[in-house]
Amino acid sequence: MKRILYLVLILLSVQTYAQSYSIPDSVKRILFLGNSITYNGKYISFIDAYLTLKYPQRNFEIINLGLPSETVSGLSEPNHAGGQFPRPVLQERLERALTNIKPDLVFACYGMNDGIYLPFDDERFQKFKDGIKQLHEQVLLSGAPIVHITPPVYDPRKGAAYANVLDLYSDWLISSRYSMKWDVLDLHGPMKKFLEDRRLVDTAFLFAKDGVHPNDLGHFVMAKAILLELGQQELAKATDIPSALSGFKNGDAVFKLVEERQAIMKDAWLTLIGHKRPGMKAGLPLKEAQLSRDVINLKIQALLKE
């Protein structure tokens, strides 16, 4: 009975998304910027795999440059990471990233770390807004368009006050669609609704044990929200990655190869660009990583042609 009720809730919660952004035909190289959730990259790998399967002729190159602990606000807790290091700030590496990668399009997902896990405060909020505006302007000056993504949910069971902070940060980003004519994709709203609906039938349900870092289902919900706003309406009733890929021949095999490719390339790019976050895995030299990527691409192309 619980399973039936859950499926009913999923169907009732399916939203009809108007396409809020269409990737221009000229775009090949897409850069994702963000914090540890982006660095984990499950949602990016799914987006990459889905676009590869549906639009093989477009030859997208999707680069994950997420960095754990990072903010755009420049704020950091007094004892962050046990006092080992302050939070890195995107602006320290942004110019190098844009210069070296030369993206045709940038997606940026910030907010989770930017209120530094404290209740709402006007000064911290202003720091977040200033950082986002600086990011926006710097990307445009590089010649690439930018699409902002609202932050994932913070589980209110870990702290209702900080969950509210991310609601407010997300609302401001969404309002900038109208106040500043920005392109903004909302994953916060759909993720929050999914969490609330699921808990109606399973009170123990969670996306993240720590309230922050989503599990695989959480990453799927994030990716689905983004893809729906990119016009992929056929995903509306998909409930997980396998169901979303079931319509493609070799969909699961392509996804696994894309995950492998993403894992190699994100560390290679991070190492090349440089950053101030200790403890990160050293990536392969970029040329060596690109050779490995090319081998994987040949495997993907062979699967797509079967």
- Mean pLDDT, rounded, for 49-65: 97
Q: With CA atoms as reference, report the closest residue to 109 among 233, 247, 225.
A: 225
pLDDT in tens, 94-118: 999 999 999 999 999 999 999 999 9
Residue 23: band (very low, low, confident or very high) from pLDDT cuts 50, 70, 90: very high
- Distance of alpha carbon 262 from alpha carbon 243, whole angstroms: 22
Q: What is the dihedral of CA 54, 60, 66, 72, to 10 degrees?
A: -100
- Mean pLDDT, rounded, for 54-68: 97
Residue 19: band (very low, low, confident or very high) from pLDDT cuts 50, 70, 90: low
Q: Beta-strand (E) ranges in the chain? A: 29-34, 61-64, 105-109, 146-149, 183-185
- Distance of alpha carbon 292 from alpha carbon 295, whole angstroms: 5
* CATH placement of domain 27-305: 3.40.50.1110
- Mean pLDDT, rounded, for 19-39: 95
Residue 25: band (very low, low, confident or very high) from pLDDT cuts 50, 70, 90: very high
- Distance of alpha carbon 281 from alpha carbon 268, whole angstroms: 9
Supply the pLDDT for residue 20: 84
Q: Could you tell me how far CA 78 lies from the centroid of its own chain?
A: 27
Q: What is the dihedral of CA 175, 179, 180, 184, to 10 degrees?
A: 20
pLDDT in tens, 152-169: 999 999 999 999 999 999
Residue 265: band (very low, low, confident or very high) from pLDDT cuts 50, 70, 90: very high
- Mean pLDDT, rounded, for 188-199: 97
Q: The tokens 């959730």 sit on which residue? A: 37
Contact 208, 162 (CB under 8 A): no
- Distance of alpha carbon 298 from alpha carbon 281, whole angstroms: 26
Work out whether strand 105-109 and strand 61-64 pair parallel, antiparallel, or are unpaired: unpaired
pLDDT in tens, 70-88: 999 999 998 899 999 999 9
- Mean pLDDT, rounded, for 242-254: 95
Comparing 53 with 12, the larger pLDDT belongs to 53
What is the pTM for the complete model shown? 0.93
